[in-house]
Amino acid sequence: MNSAPEVVCEALSRRFPNGVCALDKISFRVPSGGLTAIIGPSGCGKTTLLRIAARLDQSTEGQIRCVSRDGTPMLPRAGQLAVCFQEARLLPWRTALENVALPLELAGVDRAERRMRANRVIHAAGLDGAQQRMPAQLSGGMRMRVALARALVTQPSVLLLDEPCSSVDEFTRMQLDEEIRRLWQASGATTILVTHSVSEAVFLADTIIVMEHGRVHATHTVELPQGGRDRTSLAFSQEVEFIMRTLACAAGVARR
C-alpha cells in the first residue's frame, strides 16, 4: 500500500521582481506514487516550478501542496521531500558513501545505521565498489548516480528530479533512466521529473505536461505499461512522435 501523498499544484504563479513571469497560474496534480514529467523549452518555468515545490523559492500566487491519502494536507518534513538537481552537487571532500549518507547525518541518524542505509541505496543505484571514491574520481554518470542515491537515502515520499540526465551523454542517459525507473518504483515516491528529453519523458512518466511561457500547453497520459517500456517498439516511437508534434505546435514551428 502506497502512503505517498498526492502533489497538488493550484493556480501557481511566480513573478520575479524584474517583471518576468516564470509561472502563470499553473494547475495540475500528480497522483500518489505517480511520475509526472514536465517538458518544455529552456526558460519556460520548469525549474522555477520545481524550486517552489522544494520550498527553495516562493510563489507570488497560488500554491503547490501535498495531500496525504486520507485527504489531509501535509507539509513534508526534511527527508520526506528530496531533490535531485541538474548538477550532482556533491561535497568534493567526501567519499561517495559519505555524500550519500549526508542527509541521514544531518537528520541525526547514528553512524552504524546511516552506513547500512547508505550502502543499501548505493547498491540499488549500481554503485557497488565506488563507496570510497571521491567525486572527482567519478565519471559524470556515476556522480549523478551518487546524487540520486543521496536523494533516495531518506526514503522520501516526494521526489523532485530536475533534469537529472542533462549533463550526461545519450548512452549514459538511457542507462540512468533505467536506474531512475527502478529506484522510483521501489521507493513508491510521488515524483515530478523536469526534462528536456522527449524519449526520457515517454520512458519514465505516466503523465507528460508540456509547458510553454509559464503555462500548461498540453497534458498527455502515456498509454504504455509501466513495466516493460521498450524504446525500440513502435508504440514507444508513436508516443515520442506525438509529444514531438505537441512541442512543435507550442514552439510555433509545426507544418501540416
Nearest CB to other proteins, comparing residues 92 and 227: 92
Work out how close the CB of 236 gets to other proteins at its nearest, in angstroms, rounded to a whole number.
Answer: 34
Work out how close the CB of 107 gets to other proteins at its nearest, in angstroms, rounded to a whole number.
Answer: 7
* CA-closest candidate to residue 209, choices 67, 50, 81: 50
**At a CB cut-off of 8 Å and minimum separation 6, what does 169 contact?**
none
Q: How far apart are CA 189 and CA 175, in angstroms?
A: 20
Q: How far apart are CA 116 and CA 93, in angstroms?
A: 21
Work out how close the CB of 5 gets to other proteins at its nearest, in angstroms, rounded to a whole number.
Answer: 17
Work out how close the CB of 157 gets to other proteins at its nearest, in angstroms, rounded to a whole number.
Answer: 14
Q: How far apart are CA 24 and CA 209, in angstroms?
A: 14
Nearest CB to other proteins, comparing residues 125 and 205: 125
The C-alpha cell at 106 is 544531518
Work out how close the CB of 21 gets to other proteins at its nearest, in angstroms, rounded to a whole number.
Answer: 23
Nearest CB to other proteins, comparing residues 1 and 75: 75
Q: How far apart are CA 181 and CA 203, in angstroms?
A: 9
Binding site for other proteins (CB under 8 A): 54, 56, 77-79, 81-83, 85, 87, 89, 91-93, 102-103, 105-107, 134-136
Q: How far apart are CA 21 and CA 36, in angstroms?
A: 23
Nearest CB to other proteins, comparing residues 84 and 202: 84
Nearest CB to other proteins, comparing residues 152 and 247: 152
Work out how close the CB of 78 gets to other proteins at its nearest, in angstroms, rounded to a whole number.
Answer: 4
Pairing of strands 158-162, 81-84: parallel
Q: 10 in helix, strand or coil?
A: strand
Nearest CB to other proteins, comparing residues 162 and 212: 162
Structural contact between residues 193 and 35, judged by C-beta atoms closer than 8 angstroms: yes
Q: How far apart are CA 67 and CA 46, in angstroms?
A: 22
Nearest CB to other proteins, comparing residues 35 and 54: 54
Instruction: Report the first-to-last Cα separation within the chain, whole angstroms.
Output: 46
Work out how close the CB of 134 gets to other proteins at its nearest, in angstroms, rounded to a whole number.
Answer: 5
Q: 114 in helix, strand or coil?
A: helix
